[in-house]
Chains A and B, each alone.
Chain A
Amino acid sequence: MSIAHTSSSEKVFAPAKKSHRTAYLLLAPGLVWLLIFFAFPLLNLAETSTKTPAPSFETGEFVQTFRFANFIDAFSANQEQFFRSFFYALCATVLALAISYPLAYAIAFRSGVWKNFMLVMVIAPFFTSFLLRTLAWKQILGAEGPVVLVLQFLRILPADATITATAFSVIMGLTYNFLPFMTLPIYASLDRIDYRLLEASGDLYANSATTFRKVTLPLSMPGVVAGTLLTFIPSSGDYINAQLLGSPDNFMIGNVINSRFFRVVDYPTAASLSFILMASILVLVVIYIRRAGTDELV
Chain B
Amino acid sequence: MSEKKKVEGDLRLDQVSKTFGDFVAVDDLSLVIPKGSFFALLGPSGCGKTTTLRMIAGLEEPSSGKILIGDTDITEAKAHERPVNTVFQNYALFPHLTIFENVAFGLRRRGIKDVNEAVEKVLNLVELAHLKNRKPGQLSGGQQQRIALARAVVNRPALLLLDEPLGALDLKLRRQMQIELKWIQTEVGITFVHVTHDQEEAMTMADTIAVMNNGRIEQMGSPADLYENPRTVFVANFLGQSNFIEGEVEASDGENLVVNLKGSKIALPKSRNNAKSSSLKLGIRPEKFRLHTADEKLTGNFLKGGVITDISFFGVSTQYLVEMPWKQELMVFEQNDGGAPDLEKGDAVTLSWEPQFTFALDGDAK
Contact = CB atoms under 8 A, between A and B. Distances in A.
B16 to A, nearest CB: 13
B313 interface: no
A264 to B, nearest CB: 58
A1 B23 contact: no
A218 B27 CA distance: 46
A3 B20 CA distance: 11
A24 B200 CA distance: 49
Interface stretch (B44-52, B90-98, B323-331): B44-52
Given A9-B44, A11-B46, A4 B60 contact: no
Nearest to B44: A9
B60 A1 contact: no
B214 interface: yes
Contact of B28 (A1, A9, A11, A16): A1
A22 interface: no
A33 B59 CA distance: 35
A4 B45 contact: no
A9 B61 contact: no
Contacts of B20: 13-14
| Interface of chain A: mostly helix, strand, loop or mixed | loop
A16 B60 contact: yes
Contacts of A3: 24, 27, 214-215
Contact of B23 (A6, A9, A16): A6
A13 B25 CA distance: 10
Instruction: Give the interface size bracket for B toward A.
Output: 10 to 19
Contacts, number: 29
A16 B214 contact: no
B215 A9 contact: no
B255 interface: no
Contacts of B51: 13
Contacts of B59: 16
B22 interface: yes
B50 to A, nearest CB: 8
A128 to B, nearest CB: 33
Contacts of A4: 22-24
A5 B23 CA distance: 7
Contact of A6 (B27, B46, B60): B46
A218 B45 CA distance: 34
Given A1-B24, A3-B27, A3-B215, A16 B61 contact: yes
B203 to A, nearest CB: 22
B65 to A, nearest CB: 13
Contacts of B60: 13, 16
Instruction: Give the interface size bracket for A toward B.
Output: 10 to 19
A288 to B, nearest CB: 37
A10 interface: yes
Contacts of B23: 4, 6
Nearest to B20: A13
A8 B189 CA distance: 38
A56 interface: no
Interface string A1-44: 11111100111011010000000000000000000000000000
Nearest to B50: A13
Interface string B26-62: 0110000000000000001110000100100001110
B46 A9 contact: yes
A122 B248 CA distance: 81
Nearest to B79: A16
A49 to B, nearest CB: 47
Task: Output the residue of A2, A6, A11 with the most chain B CB within 10 A.
Answer: A11
A4 to B, nearest CB: 5
Interface in A234-255: none
A19 to B, nearest CB: 13
Contacts of A14: 20
A6 to B, nearest CB: 6
A191 to B, nearest CB: 20
A224 to B, nearest CB: 32
A10 B45 contact: yes
A3 B19 CA distance: 10
B20 to A, nearest CB: 7
Contacts of B17: 1
Q: 9 shortest A-B CB distances, which residue pairs?
A: A9-B45, A9-B46, A4-B23, A3-B24, A4-B22, A3-B214, A11-B46, A1-B27, A6-B23
Interface of B: 17, 20, 22-24, 27-28, 44-46, 51, 54, 59-61, 214-215
Given A2-B24, A6-B46, A9-B46, 18 more contacts: A1-B17, A1-B28, A3-B24, A3-B27, A3-B214, A4-B22, A4-B24, A5-B214, A6-B23, A9-B45, A10-B45, A13-B20, A13-B51, A13-B60, A14-B20, A16-B59, A16-B60, A16-B61
